[in-house]
A and B are shown apart, each in its own frame.
Chain A
Amino acid sequence: MVKNYLLIAIKNFRKQKLFSLINILGLTIGITCCLLLFLFIFNEFSYDKFHKNGKDIYRIMRVGNLNGNRQEIPYVSAAYAPALMNDFPDVIEKAVRVMRDNDLISYNNISFNEKNIYLADSDFFSVFSFNLIRGNPGTVLKDPNSIVVTESTAKKYFGNEDPIGKILQFNKSQQLKVTGIAKDVPVNSHLQFDMVVPLELLKSSRPDWFTNFSLNTLFTYIQLKPNTDPALLEKQFGGFMDKYLGNFFKEIGQKMELIAKPLNKIYFAANAFDSVKHGNKKMVYIFMSIALLILLIACMNFINLSTARAAERSKEVGLRKVLGAVKKQLIGQFILESVLFATLACFLSIGLTELLMPAYTHFLGYDLPSFLGNPWFYVCIAGIITAVGLLAGSYPAILLSSFSPIESLKGVLKVGKKGTSFRKVLVVFQFTVSVILIICVVVIIKQMSYIKNTDLGFNKEQTMIIRFDNYDIASKGHQFKNELLSIPAVQDVSLMSGEPGGFHDSYPFEAEANPAEKYLFNTEFTDMDFVKTLGLKIIAGRDLSDQFGTDSLQAALINRTAAVKLGYTPDQAIGKWIFNTIRDSIKRTIVGVVEDYHFASLKDPINPLVISPGKDNRLALIKIKSADPGPVINNVRKVYSSIAPGYPFEYSFLDERFDQLYRAESRQESVLSIFSIIAIFVACLGLFGLASYTTIKRTKEVGVRKVLGSSVQNIVLLLSKDLLKPVLLGALIAIPIGYYAMNKWLQSFAYRIEFQWWMFALAIGIAITIALLTVGVQAIKAALANPVKSLRTE
């Protein structure tokens, strides 16, 4: 019997080429979207699952209060790990500290500024299951002068030579012996390293790191003894913090808690400001829903076209019933047909996915594991075939199988009004989804362009960033600056702790306004040329200056928001004192107030900022005069190489820095654009099918109307009107939903555009135009046909 069904299905498929192609094409596109997203999602949810001890591993994190918001701080001092091991020996099996660093690594004549070096405790490879190709996980880092490199890093330095036993130079000072080779770190690990060096190495140069509890230095992971409840441990953390940090808390005026975050929760942690890889669960879910919606739109095409064509199959249904088929068998037959479609589409999708893989991984920025070897992939395929088969097949199957055999054989069957209105509902839905997506894209594009064109309050053009990521350059910052200033094309140079768009510390301040209160303000430690280099505007008082010998220790600038926060107008703020309770030993006088500028992303409101002279220089900003930066860069490179020989010269530009802040949003923009194009394409595919079907059905009517004198325009209007109504309705329904969704999205920006009516009008206009073109082509074709011919078809 199945054979007979298959036969009929295949023959029908061949007979109805257009409808079959529309169905297959739509389903293939929908399924491909789902497959690509499945691969992405599968990878996202597989993060850190490969660690054998995974369920017992936790990361120790402090929880602080940042401007009234709970903030988890992943960095703790190196003193925590031994203290934890000492205080909770029954619960904690092992503790591993991990510090990401960049260091200069040299071998013979090659040297690289390695940015993914982990300084870690010797248990690193026994707690985490990173595979070692060579070396013993338990002992590979025991020697303080050992180093483990990944396979590809080893290739980079040693080519085809055996790396084991080779000596690598670490920051031009220490000699490290390669003791192990790790397999390249899998994509789905939040920890990503190229080399691992024992943390012991730092003990001599930075002894304070290992005793001072108040520093933010590194991550600490603990492996609990099997079957330990972390909640019980966390309960004792309060006492632990008081024991080691009680005095510090009193000093800064606030307390911090300590928590143990499960390893598998780290990847999806929201707004964690650590430097490890993170995923955004919300985005994963949004993309997943959109892919499913596109698949749903494709299924609806199938439903629409099958039911529209139901009358044509009614004879077969009637006959089968006469011959003894019961409803169940007929439903089975039609569902089998849709399953067949889904299966065919799935095979095409697998091919298409394979084809799109290079472009897709390029877009994602990382390689996904091969999917053909992933058993879950096949589970997913089977799931899709079943779901699509049932979803797309059940309504047409039930409708078709309910036909009365008598009527269907007589050919008087009316696939009543019910079928038509159901089809319209589906079209409404399809276009609701499409228009929502277009609205999203319009709003995102508009918001992103707003962000890119907003005056940030400082001059970001032609400004180079050079990070002080090695000791040589950091220790000779001022020499570097002075030599740069002798380059004619260099206009200004300023050394600072954080560039606009980059990281700014927060410190507790006391202020004259209310000495009893602790104010948590962002800070910028810099030199006297900060305001000049960035082109900030002084709105009260004066700039910092070398002319006042006391400025470096006793003066500070604040931004307008800080003045407001302290309860002053800019002018009132001048001459008042402010005191950084941790960094400074004496109070500073506010000598000037700068106009607010966006030192952080536009997603955040401008926070209070204190700009004070300080030695904490982490980078240099170089303002360039000439329009062509090429020669200047070369000159800067020369200066850099003379001051920090051996270190590779790396630079970036300030305007690019800001683009990086919105990388996630840019990606959303492109993903949503692609999705909305696909959605509207698939929806129009169905509309095209419906249009061609209705025009065929109404050929005779068109003929009669033309004979009676109707114009071509009238007929086009007549034929288009019916199909465009649901499109328009769908578009209207999309407005409030699109508004709601994008309003929520915009809330994540402190600085955002307002909704304007034209955004919705544009989205609807796009959808209607495309739909009109789709329907119009068919309508015009029918309207232009010779009426004599169309009448003869009866």
Chain B
Amino acid sequence: MIKIKDLEKIYRTEEVETIALNKLSMEVKDGEFVAVMGPSGCGKSTLLNILGLLDDPDAGSFIFNGIEVAKFNERKRADLRKHNIGFVFQSFNLIDELTVFENVELPLIYTGVKSSERKKRVDEVLDKVQIMHRRNHYPQQLSGGQQQRVAVARAVVNKPKLILADEPTGNLDSHNGNEVMEMLTDLNEQGTTIVMVTHSEHDARYSHRIIRMLDGQTVLENIMV
């Protein structure tokens, strides 16, 4: 699914040059559940952003589903992204002005799904994450765990091949955190590829493989048994 070779990303400000990714290479296979770990500033988030087609690398190759996407422009990236990738964030990132239903519906709007179909699919996925009873509430009326469940629902409503999770349990207590991890595991078992950035060894254990990063490079890979 993902094949990265010699990926480089450098951030420049007037005074400082920060190498976020330094000739990084890695591979994620279809149906894998990969955890990315490492200290703050090691380039995890940059990697996730590039994998999510939110950012483009300065050099190197990125093959997504057999297509070289490293040089894609914004339009093409957006197009690829909305059909193939779902995101789960540490801070949920739900739109406060929209209800639970409307938040989850949003990706379907951008992929041009018809209204009746949207309603069906949103309800389906809300049911799956057990938040149906809250469908007309606003994010600020929900607990953190509930909010993240909505975020997961939003990430999967489009049936993406890949889910990118950026510390999905970072803002949750352990009970709610475990619930979210269970949900991700379920999704993975149904065939969705998952790449998750995390600080938590506990969460990482849900994955098949841990990629450890330092200074923009992978230093170690643990295969989970």
Contacts and interface: CB of A to CB of B under 8 A. Distances in A.
B14 to A, nearest CB: 13
Interface string B78-98: 110111000101010101011
A203 B55 CA distance: 94
B72 interface: no
A323 B97 contact: no
Interface string A1-15: 100100110011001
B102 interface: yes
A329 B110 contact: yes
B43 interface: no
Contacts of A319: 93, 95, 106
B106 A320 contact: yes
A39 interface: no
Output the residue of A15, A322, A326 with the most chain B CB within 10 A: A322
B55 A406 contact: yes
A324 B111 contact: yes
Interface string A389-415: 000000000000000111001000000
A11 B93 CA distance: 17
B43 to A, nearest CB: 13
A327 B74 contact: yes
A316 B95 contact: yes
Given A1-B109, A409-B89, A326 B102 contact: no
B89 A325 contact: no
A321 B54 contact: yes
Contact of B97 (A11, A322, A325, A404): A11
Contacts of B102: 4, 7
A321 B95 CA distance: 13
Contacts of A4: 102, 105-106, 109
Contact of A409 (B93, B98, B106, B111): B93
B49 interface: yes
User: What is the predominant secondary structure among interface residues of chain B facing chain A?
Assistant: helix
A315 interface: yes
Interface string B55-83: 10000000000000000001100110111
Contacts of B98: 7-8, 11
B216 interface: no
Interface in A1-36: 1, 4, 7-8, 11-12, 15
B125 to A, nearest CB: 14
B74 A326 contact: yes
B110 A323 contact: yes
Contacts of A7: 97-98, 102
A4 B108 CA distance: 11
Contact of A12 (B87, B97, B106): B97
B138 to A, nearest CB: 9
B107 interface: yes
Contacts of B83: 324
Given A4-B102, A324-B81, A406 B109 contact: no
A316 B97 CA distance: 9
Interface in A299-335: 315-316, 318-327, 329
A325 B109 CA distance: 9
Interface residues of A, number: 24
A11 B98 CA distance: 8
Contact of A322 (B54, B74, B91): B54
A316 B95 CA distance: 6
Interface in A517-539: none
B52 interface: yes
A658 B132 CA distance: 81
B82 A323 contact: yes
A746 B49 CA distance: 66
A325 B54 CA distance: 11
B93 A324 contact: no
A406 B78 contact: no
Contact of B82 (A8, A324, A327): A324
A72 to B, nearest CB: 64
Nearest to A9: B97
Given A7-B98, A11-B97, A327-B74, A322 B87 contact: yes
Contacts of B79: 324, 326
Contact of B78 (A11, A15, A326): A326
B220 to A, nearest CB: 26
Contacts of B91: 409
Contacts of A316: 95, 97
Contacts of B87: 322-323
Nearest to B164: A322
Contact of A324 (B49, B95, B107): B107
Contacts of B45: 406
B55 A323 contact: no
Contacts of A315: 93, 95
A699 B138 CA distance: 27
B109 A322 contact: no
Nearest to A409: B93
A8 B54 contact: no
B93 to A, nearest CB: 5
A390 to B, nearest CB: 23
Contact of B49 (A325, A327, A406): A406
Nearest to B46: A406
A409 B81 CA distance: 16
A325 B52 CA distance: 14
A10 to B, nearest CB: 9
A406 B110 contact: no
Contacts of B54: 321-322, 405-406
B81 A322 contact: yes
A325 B78 contact: yes
Interface string A318-362: 111111111101000000000000000000000000000000000
A404 B102 CA distance: 23
B93 A8 contact: no
Contacts of A405: 54
Nearest to B112: A1
Interface in B185-224: none
Contacts of A1: 109-110
A401 to B, nearest CB: 10
Interface string A621-655: 00000000000000000000000000000000000
A397 B37 CA distance: 37
B119 to A, nearest CB: 13
Contacts of B110: 1, 320, 323-325, 329
A8 B78 CA distance: 21
Contacts of B95: 8, 315-316, 319
A449 B49 CA distance: 71
Contacts of A324: 78-79, 81-83, 107, 110-111
Given A7-B98, A316-B95, A406-B49, A321 B78 contact: yes
A405 B81 CA distance: 13
Contacts of A321: 54, 78
A418 to B, nearest CB: 16
A686 B54 CA distance: 36
B190 to A, nearest CB: 21
A585 to B, nearest CB: 93
Contacts of A320: 106, 110
Interface string A670-712: 0000000000000000000000000000000000000000000
Contacts of B52: 322
Interface of B: 45, 49, 52, 54-55, 74-75, 78-79, 81-83, 87, 89, 91, 93, 95, 97-98, 102, 105-107, 109-111, 154
The 8 A-B pairs at the shortest CB distance, nearest first, are namely A324-B82, A11-B97, A324-B110, A326-B78, A323-B107, A1-B109, A406-B49, A405-B54
23 contacts: A1-B110, A4-B102, A4-B105, A7-B97, A7-B98, A8-B97, A8-B98, A15-B97, A315-B95, A316-B95, A319-B93, A319-B95, A320-B110, A321-B78, A322-B52, A323-B82, A323-B110, A324-B81, A324-B82, A326-B75, A327-B74, A327-B75, A406-B49
Given A326-B78, A405-B54, A406-B49, 5 more contacts: A8-B97, A322-B81, A323-B87, A323-B106, A406-B55
